[in-house]
Amino acid sequence: MQSIDELIAAARRAFAAAARPADLENEKARFLGKAGILTERLKSLARLEPQQRREEGARLNVAKEAIERLLNERRAQLAEDAVSAQLAQEAIDVTLPGRSRSRGGLHPVIRTWIRVEEIFRSIGFDVADGPEIETDWYNFTALNSPENHPARSMQDTFYVDAPDAQGQPLVLRTHTSPMQVRYARQHGPALRVIAPGRTYRVDDDATHSPMFHQVEGLWLDEDISFADLKGVYTDFVQRFFESDDLRVRFRPSYFPFTEPSAEIDLMFTSGPRKGQWLEISGAGQVHPAVIRNYGFDPEKTLGFAFGSGLERLTMLRYGVDDLRNFFSGDLRFLRQFQE
């Protein structure tokens, strides 16, 4: 039979070998459980003589206490190991470089959009928004370009296959001008509004993108003339470019929805791009037929409209020479516009 010392030593080894709490509890059962080694030996005391029984009983009690103490020590050790392991796993290496959180930014064209809104709001214009999928009627017919009118071919249009719920043919709006009609019908006959937004044409090269942005402007009242257009637009570009060193030119042109019509050109009189006329907008006095389509009497309501390219304004303001930069998603380009 194992001596008491051997028994304690065996328990010590078994407990030390238990790597997980569950293993340790199995070992406990093997020594101290109901059918454990120690329990069996205590039971066997019954067969001994009284004197021997007392002595052996006392030794076994010492052994039992020793084994329980070893068990508790090992339990505490395993618990401590578990905490240390967890701490090690969660350790933060404070010497690592920090993880910076990246911040989104505004696209340069959107910056222009916001700027244009601010400037026009400050002189009393409302800002309106409308559908990019537009009926053929609002996009063309109401703007004095009846079907088969040659002016319709000026804009190569994305037509939508299916008509709308009322059977109206649909297009991706080729300009923001349909917003003149939508807004005037609801808010006229005296109004001042701009309508910035996305527009679409079948066009793709260094200066044209199939999706681009325009801002429409419309001022209607009893006596709004081409002189007001000149004043408002010149003031706008001076504020937009934060410069008086520029000139604005109204060059005769043609649009079916304005009469007279003009292209608005801009020239810087100082700086790297001085001395070069650049086209930024179409404009004109609203055609009487269009005033009628707004629902008003052209004898009583007059006004001007303009439609300017937001990419164009952005390119001039920042000196960007290729429109495709705006849509290629190249962060090296876009980051230059972040504050």
Residues lying near ligand PHE in the complex (CB under 6 A) are found at 175, 177, 255, 258, 282-284, 305-307
Q: How far is the CB of 171 from ligand PHE (least distance, A)?
A: 13
Strand pairing partners for 217?
194, 306
Which helix or strand (DSSP H or E) is residue 64 part of? helix 50-89
Q: What are phi and psi of 218, to 5 degrees?
A: -150, 125
- Within 13 A of 280's CA, how many CA atoms are on the CB side? 27
Q: How far is the CB of 305 from ligand PHE (least distance, A)?
A: 4
Q: Is 247 left (phi over 0), alpha (psi -120 to 50) or beta?
A: beta
Q: How far is the CB of 326 from ligand PHE (least distance, A)?
A: 18
Of the two residues 145 and 325, which places its CB atom closer to ligand PHE in the complex?
Answer: 145
Of the two residues 15 and 240, which places its CB atom closer to ligand PHE in the complex?
Answer: 240
- From residue 253, alpha-carbon distances to 156, 210, 228, 258, 312 in Å are 19, 23, 18, 10, 19
Q: How far is the CB of 215 from ligand PHE (least distance, A)?
A: 10
Q: How far is the CB of 143 from ligand PHE (least distance, A)?
A: 8
Q: How far is the CB of 200 from ligand PHE (least distance, A)?
A: 11
**Residue 217 near residue 193, CB atoms below 8 Å:** yes
Of the two residues 240 and 306, which places its CB atom closer to ligand PHE in the complex?
Answer: 306
Of the two residues 268 and 306, which places its CB atom closer to ligand PHE in the complex?
Answer: 306
Of the two residues 177 and 325, which places its CB atom closer to ligand PHE in the complex?
Answer: 177
Of the two residues 141 and 243, which places its CB atom closer to ligand PHE in the complex?
Answer: 141
Classify each residue of 177-189 as buried b or exposed e, where b means 16 or more C-beta atoms within 10 Å of its C-beta.
Answer: bbbbbbbbeebbb
* Among the listed residues 313, 239, 233, 317, the one whose alpha carbon sits nearest the alpha carbon of residue 273: 317
Other C-beta atoms lying within 10 Å of the C-beta of residue 259: 15
Other C-beta atoms lying within 10 Å of the C-beta of residue 160: 15
Q: How far is the CB of 165 from ligand PHE (least distance, A)?
A: 27
Of the two residues 30 and 185, which places its CB atom closer to ligand PHE in the complex?
Answer: 185
